[in-house]
Structure 1
Amino acid sequence: MKLKEYLPALLTALKLKRIPIEELKRKNGESLPIIVTLTSIPSRLNIIDLTIRSILNQPQKPERILLWLHQDLKNQIPSKLAELQGDIFEIRFQDGLTCSHRKLIYALQEFPEHTLVTCDDDLIYHSTWLASLYNEHLQHPKSIIANECRLISYDENGELLPYKQWKMHKNTESNDQRLLPIGYGGVLYPAHSLHQDAIKDELFLKLAPKADDLWFRMMSLLNGTEVRRPKQPAPKPTPIAGSQKISLKKTNVRQDGNREQWKALSEYYAVTLTGSQQ
């Protein structure tokens, strides 16, 4: 987190904390027919209440918010997180996965007919966040919608470039095959938008064990599902101060793990991407 981001982050967090719990838990009219699903790790249990608060604070709330945690954490939930549970927010415990993929895997299994939205556990989301995804979904109901995307990029010889050279994609009209939804901005998955292999843990733990974004993108490619950015993307979420002590950025970005995992996925599924060069 950059030094200049600390003060805005702290002020945003303070504003959220001042909202009464009763107000956050209250349903305001008709909910959006969406389930928001996410996961977390032990080091973030003391800050993820801010993420949940920001989702509960959306003018149009989702039907449900599900936080998937490992069973070992059942007795370690801070009261400031536990007290947010109610008709909308629920913590669910599982014995299985410990990887980031579980943010979507369990929801896919339990709610296969629902529209699902994933998000990260170390961010505060803007008040227009959920509506931006849902409004675009209404226009393109079979597409995956992502507020933030990168473009999986190759050189002139067709060799995959380092992940740092996969530029952020700003075009909101494009459905280029190479678009990669970036989880931190929030990603909407319509029912049946992913290939049946999506929930096969033996495959994603082998091919992309630390890159759920890449795994789910490959699953959408295999299923022929396009990716789009909203015409009016929500502002970027605000990082939560102190949330990046443990993250996948070192291996996936700095050590270029994302490139290696995308290569493994492409080779296994024999997928070659096409799209206009931009």
Structure 2
Amino acid sequence: MNPTRWFRTFKWKRRVQSCLNDIQQRIDAPADPHGLNAPLIVSLTSFAPRFPSLLPTLQCLLRQSVKPNQVILWLSPEDAAQLPTEIKALKNEGLSIALCEDWRSFKKIIPALQQDPNRYIVTADDDVFYPFDWLAKLVEGAKQHPGNVISHRAHRVQYEPSGSIAPYENWQKNLNTQQSGADIFATGVSGVLYPPNSLDQHAIETDAFLSLCPSADDIWLYWMTRLNGCEVHNLGGKARIIEWPGSQTVSLLSENAGGDGLGGNDRAIRALTRAYGLPGKRMQTTP
């Protein structure tokens, strides 16, 4: 291993250990009520190959400075049958485990929307560290910007001179300032808060997202936000993503390049533009 790579690996391992220590220090830490005008849930999904690194993420989410009404882990029946004992034991800390159809990454929000859209739903990924005040910042953002979707991390959608959306790789990535707008695109990895009924009613149409963008849930949720006339408010500050060891062995990255020369996100953007129009302004659904 060359010195530069060794040093990066060393720093990453130190960050991971610091995060694990932080999680342990949160045990029995008091949590404030969220104070929102509707129930608040944290919703995520996982699958069996990710189970070895799932425990610390769930502990992060259960040990926040603000207490949600529920933390729900959505699993397919096949994956639930393989759930490790230490994950099941987190029910003692308040974890809810629920079964749903295997809609891949969409499981983190679609069954929660189907269950009750009149809640604040915060989505999280299953493979990263979340700070102690992660949820508190999203909740405060929701109070200060009512009706907006709130994100810890966002990109800015870029457009071509023709008016079409530029390739995803050309978007302005990981914005470091607070801003809202129709072109602010929330990225799910760092957590996103969806207020009650902020997503269009088409959001739960499983046949649509499975055919148009089966591996691009962030793209789908952005379109459904805009289709409903809502905007994203980004909290600002470049988000640092700390992934757990081994969690990225299994990912969707291998699916992001197709024989048509487009990345997975670009194929999804093209398909959703055909189906629903461009997201820059309030859109009209096609019959």
The TM-score bracket by the shorter chain reads 0.7 to 0.9
The residue type equivalent to 2:137 in the other structure is S
Q: Which residue of 1 aligns with 2:285?
A: none
The DSSP-based 3-state class of the residue aligned with 1:247 is coil
Q: Which residue of 2 aligns with 1:55?
A: 61
The 8 Å contact of residues 62 and 93 in structure 2, kept in 1 or not, is answered as no
Displacement, 1:73? 2.1
Q: Which residue of 1 aligns with 2:73?
A: 67
The 8 Å contact of residues 48 and 121 in structure 1, kept in 2 or not, is answered as yes
Q: Which moved more, 1:49-58 or 1:31-40?
A: 31-40
Q: Which residue of 2 aligns with 1:157?
A: 162
The 8 Å contact of residues 47 and 243 in structure 1, kept in 2 or not, is answered as yes
Q: Which residue of 2 aligns with 1:140?
A: 145
Displacement, 1:3? 2.9
Displacement, 1:169? 4.6
The 8 Å contact of residues 183 and 280 in structure 2, kept in 1 or not, is answered as yes
Q: Which moved more, 1:187-196 or 1:236-245?
A: 236-245
- The gaps in structure 1 that reach 5 residues or longer are none
Q: Which moved more, 1:50-59 or 1:247-256?
A: 247-256
CA deviations 1:34-74 (Å, max 9, x no partner) are 20000012111121111011112212222210000000123
Displacement, 1:156? 2.6
Matched, 1:40 2:46: yes
The residue type equivalent to 1:109 in the other structure is Q
CA deviations 1:225-246 (Å, max 9, x no partner) are 1110126x59534211110011
Larger RCO: 1 or 2 (CA < 8 Å, sep 6+): 1
Displacement, 1:81? 1.0
- The gaps in structure 2 that reach 5 residues or longer are 282-287
The DSSP-based 3-state class of the residue aligned with 1:120 is coil
The counterpart of 1:103, out of the listed 91, 99, 108, is: 108
Q: Which residue of 2 aligns with 1:273?
A: 280
| Seq. identity, % | 31
Name the CA shift for 1:29/1:170 in 2 (closer, same or farther; >3 Å). closer
Displacement, 1:7? 1.0
The residue type equivalent to 1:263 in the other structure is R
CA deviations 1:3-50 (Å, max 9, x no partner) are 355313430354156458xx46x8745356420000012111121111
Name the CA shift for 1:173/1:125 in 2 (closer, same or farther; >3 Å). closer
The DSSP-based 3-state class of the residue aligned with 2:109 is helix
The counterpart of 1:11, out of the listed 17, 32, 46, is: 17
Q: Which residue of 1 aligns with 2:184?
A: 179
Matches within 5 A, 1:196-235: 196-230=201-235, 235=239
Name the CA shift for 1:241/1:199 in 2 (closer, same or farther; >3 Å). same
Separation in structure 2 between the aligned mates of residue 150 and residue 182 of structure 1, nearest angstrom? 7
The residue type equivalent to 1:150 in the other structure is H
Name the CA shift for 1:262/1:241 in 2 (closer, same or farther; >3 Å). same
The 8 Å contact of residues 16 and 53 in structure 1, kept in 2 or not, is answered as no
The residue type equivalent to 1:119 in the other structure is A
- The aligned length equals 269
Displacement, 1:87? 6.0
